[in-house]
Structure 1
């Protein structure tokens, strides 16, 4: 619910800002600015997207997971969507998602705000008198990249013929 409230307030503030500035500088100038930021955004998305894809492919060829490149790609998509929306506030945030140094500052700000930390709980199942019972006890929000342990039991133990 808080994210829906934030999106609603952001959209309302964006339109109020658009109409306020548009009333001061005129309709034609406002339209040119909104369209201009859209074209600049398309150029930056293409430029940054191609380089991000090349880095991701290079890391995959080296056998690494391109996690940073995936976050960059998500920021590019988010920035592009913001640039498609009419408004100066959404355009400013969209361009910030497309410029590499500004994007890194945004990611640091999100990390600082605590939006990056997700709480993951261990799910274990124990056999009890009433069947399988779920037990969620441990919090893994501060763990490093350690091993993941688990068991797998196939539900179908009948041999198959070919």
Structure 2
């Protein structure tokens, strides 16, 4: 996505947000619209702190058990985005922000993101680790990762595998 597309997307979204605010203010008045916007920001801040703490506790528990906390990492990113959207004035950003902060919808969206396939990296005191999860290509469609003719490697990616690993520096 080029810079121009990003600029026009952000500009268009901001314009849409202003139009929605103006419509709501026309229906209920500007003072009430401003109060509602401030209340959603305060409520979002509270939810962000509470849900963030719960997610942090679950992340630490998974790591102490030696498991990869992929769900919790994705949820943590969603919490950050949801918190940022809720402190941004506007009703569209509030709706998306609340969807990212409420546990049921956030967990559902995080599981969809993980099922779609992600590459997650993390750094520890001892080194770095990774987990790669990818999806199957339905209907035998083109797999962009399959070995190309003339390439000098023997890797082909098969569907549904998860590869986890850890590395440690020994030159210290």
Shorter-chain TM-score above 0.5: yes
Confirm or deny that 1:145 pairs with 2:145.
no
Show CA shifts across 1:87-112 (max 9, x none).
Answer: 00001110110001122344466679
SS in 2 for 1:95: helix
Alignment gaps of 5+ in structure 1: 124-133, 149-162
**RMSD over aligned Cα, in angstroms?**
3.6
The answer to whether the 8 Å contact 1:52/1:69 transfers is yes
Q: How does 1:1-162 map to 2 (within 5 A)?
A: 1=1, 4=6, 5-107=8-110, 121=145, 140=157, 142-146=159-163
Rounded to whole Å, the distance in 2 between the matches of 1:64 and 1:108 is 16
Contact 2:62 2:69 in 1 (8 A): yes
In the alignment, is the contact (CA less than 8 A) between 2:25 and 2:33 conserved in 1? yes
Preserved CA contact (<8 Å) 2:55 2:76: yes
Deviation string for 1:54-105 (max 9, x for gaps)? 1111111111111111011000000011011110000111011000112234
The structure whose Rg is larger is 1
Shift of 1:140: 4.4
Determine the C-alpha separation between the residues in 1 that align with 2:65 and 2:82: 29
TM-score normalised by structure 1 residue count: 0.68
Q: TM-score, normalization: structure 2?
A: 0.65
Cα shift at 1:25: 1.0
Which runs of 5 or more residues in structure 2 are unaligned? 119-133, 136-142, 166-172
Question: How far did residue 6 of structure 1 move?
Answer: 3.8
